[in-house]
Structure formats: structure tokens, C-alpha cells
Amino acid sequence: MNIGIIGTGGIATSAHIPQYIAAGANVVAVMNRTRERGEAAARQFGIERVYGTVEAMLENETLDAVSVCTPNALHKEQVIAALAAGCHVLCEKPPAISAREAMEMLEAAKAANRTLHYGFHYRHRSDTQLLKRMIEAGELGHLYAATALALRRRGIPGWGVFTDKELQGGGALLDHGVHMLDLALYLMGYPKPVDVIGHIGQYLGTRPGVGLMGTWDPDTFSVEDTARAMVKFENGASLLFDGSFMANVGPRDTMRVELRGTEGGATLFPLHVHTEAYGALFDQTPAHLEHVDPYAVQIQTFLDACQREPEFEQGEQAVILHTITDRIYGEA
């Protein structure tokens, strides 16, 4: 398969390009707005052609699939352009910056009859997949409560445009928070939300402070450092979300999902399962679980999907996800 890459920054060069190459796909072209960055990536991976615009790459190349690895506010336009050119698309998370955009992307995938996947790599971890299989086998019963935590003590990224609301759409929620929100929803079977109460705030990011992920400019910090929510679903279940770029908490970085079901509960990460049987309470942890590189599985899953009938499920889930994020931001 011939692959093109849009955006050659951190995630493209650390995950997408090397994993396509490892999977035996041909990364034939890259595009980056800053041409030197595109050229540097092409040199690093031996990629033949570099473009400065999406249009030029799509016009001049015969591509089967494209990865979109640019700032969040650019995803929609670039994904739709690639789909319209007949490419299957793997777009980094978050899918978009609003439900309206996610819907346009889904409609474009359907119109082009091409697969649209999103870069939620936590789904592809072996512990997540084990838990998913246990849930589908009914081990936890009806899942009625979930908690998704994405809490950093001092974790504002000091590179890229992660503090720019216009280019990223948001901070603690749309950047790393969305990974745990998606994961909880994925494990719950993506129930439809009916009520959302959100709390968004800037408390620490707009003043100088310790940075454990580099330094940022508090004067231009325009995203939320705090995002919290309670979501109620059509099926009666509820979810609590708590995310921060910076918060006065003990642990440096917590990425965690907790699920409660009528037959059992579970937490990730690491995986623990809690049940009751024979008048006793059990805590289970896997004694052995094969480690997989979730980015490698993500790319292979996408490449495999490109060989089958087009898939729109992730596009549909993205609309639900962003319906929730819109409501947390108070924008719906």
C-alpha cells in the first residue's frame, strides 16, 4: 500500500511512519507546512517526495491511505480532502474539535466509501483488549458506572501548539483527557449521552510555574488546564471524567479508567478485575499478558481494515465523543 503522511511532527515520526514501514507499507510522500520539517522526516526515513500543501500531495501521488498528524483544528479539512481523493484515513486524536466537524468527517467517509480510523492507541493495548473480551463475554454484567482520569501534576507540553485554543480546540480535555474518555466509552460500548455537566477552567496554566513536560508561555496559554464532567447515558449508566494539565495532586501522571458492572468491576491501568463468587470477594490480575506496541497494532489494524469493506464505526463514535466534549465546553 502507498501511504502519505500529513504533518511530520512528533507523533508522525515516532509512531506512524516507523510503524507503517515496520508493517511493510510504502510511505511514499510526506507533507508538512514547514517544508524543512517535512524534508527532515523524509531524510530520516528514506521517503522519496516532500510536499508543502495537502492539495499538491493528493494531486501528484497515487495514495491508498493517509495519516493526518497535524494540530487538532486542521484535522477536519485535511481528512475530508484525503477522503475526497479516494484515500483511507487514519487521523490522530482527538478526531476533531467539535461534533459538527466529526459529523462532516463521517459523512465525507461515507460519501467516499473509505475507511476512517482515529488514533486512540490505548484501545490497542493488550490489557485493554483482554478487558474488552471479558466485558463482551459478560464477566462484568451491565456496566452502570465509569470513571475516566487523566490527571497531570505539572504536565503542560512545552512543544508544539498544545496551549493554543485556536489550533488545538482545547487542552486537558481534548489533548490527553480524550484518550481516557474514549477508552471508557469504548469499553462501555459507546452508549448515547443524554445529560452532561461540565466544569472547564484555567487556574494554574496562566501563571508561571514548574513544568515537568517542558516550559510553556503562560501569557499565551488559551486552553483549559482543568476539565471535569459528569455524563449520564440513555442506558442509565453514568461516567465521571476528571482531567488536568496541571493540578495540585500527588501523582505525576494518572491515566486510569474504572468500570463498575453488576457482576464485576475493573480498573485500567494496570488491569484489575473485582468480583464476588462462592461467598467470597476476588481480585484478579493477569499473571502473564503479552506486551504489544499499541501503535504497531493501531497501524496494522488500519492497514487490515483498508483491505476490507469501508468501516465507519469509529467515525460514528467520534460524533458521540465530541457531542460530550462540546457539552463539557458548554458549546452545544
Ligand X SMILES: NC(=O)c1ccc[n+]([C@@H]2O[C@H](COP(=O)([O-])OP(=O)(O)OC[C@H]3O[C@@H](n4cnc5c(N)ncnc54)[C@H](O)[C@@H]3O)[C@@H](O)[C@H]2O)c1
Q: Which residue, chain included where needed, has cell 482515529?
A: 118
The count of chain residues that interact with ligand X, using the rule CB under 6 A, is 23
**Nearer to ligand X (CB atom), residue 69 or residue 319:** 69
**Do 148 and 187 touch, CB atoms closer than 8 A?**
no
**Between vectors from CA 301 to CA 289 and to CA 32, what angle results, nearest 5°?**
120
Is 235 one of the binding residues for ligand X (CB under 6 A)? no
Q: Distance between CA 25 and CA 299 in Å, rounded?
A: 10
Q: Indicate the residue among 97 and 237 with the shorter CB distance to ligand X.
A: 97
Q: Closest approach of Cβ 232 to ligand X, in Å?
A: 27
CB closer to ligand X, 170 vs 264: 170
- Closest to ligand X by CB, 101 vs 175, is 175
* Among candidate residues 122, 116, 42, the one with its CA nearest the CA of residue 78: 116
Q: Choose the binding region for ligand X from 18-26, 31-39, 249-257, 301-309 (rule: CB under 6 A).
A: 31-39
Q: Least CB distance from residue 277 to ligand X, whole Å?
A: 37
Work out how close the CB of 134 gets to ligand X at its nearest, in angstroms, rounded to a whole number. 25
For 193, the enclosing helix (H) or strand (E) is strand 193-201
Give CA–CA dist 273/280, Å, rounded.
Answer: 14
The C-alpha cell 467515525 sits at 315
The reply on whether position 128 binds ligand X by CB under 6 A is no
Q: Do residues 103 and 76 lie in contact, with contact meaning Cβ atoms separated by under 8 Å?
A: no
Instruction: Give CA–CA dist 143/258, Å, rounded.
Output: 11
93, containing H or E segment: none
CB of 24 to ligand X, least distance (A): 22
Q: How far is the CB of 10 from ligand X (least distance, A)?
A: 3
Residue from 30, 47, 71, 198 binding ligand X (CB under 6 A): 71
What is the DSSP code string of 206-232? TS----BTB---GGG--S-SEEEEEEE
Report CA dihedral (319, 323, 326, 327) to the nearest 10 degrees: -170
Among 70, 98, 300, 323, binds ligand X (CB under 6 A): 70
Residue from 72, 128, 163, 244 touching ligand X (CB under 6 A): that is 72
Q: Is 193 in the site for ligand X (CB under 6 A)?
A: no
Which region among 22-30, 68-76, 190-198, 300-308 touches ligand X (by CB under 6 A)? 68-76
Residue with Cβ nearer ligand X (159 or 203): 159
Angle between helices 99-112 and 313-329 in degrees, nearest 10? 170
In total, the chain counts a number of residues equal to: 332
Q: Which of 47, 57, 73, 74 is close enough to bind ligand X by CB under 6 A?
A: 74
User: Which residues have a Cβ under 8 Å from the Cβ of 298 and sit 6 or more positions away?
Assistant: 15, 19, 90, 117, 119, 121, 123, 124
> Closest CB to ligand X belongs to which residue?
9
Q: Residue 92 or 258: which CB sits closer to ligand X?
A: 92
Options 70-78, 229-237, 262-270, 301-309: segment touching ligand X (CB under 6 A): 70-78
Interface ranges with ligand X (CB under 6 A): 6-12, 31-34, 37, 69-72, 74, 92-93, 119, 121, 160, 175
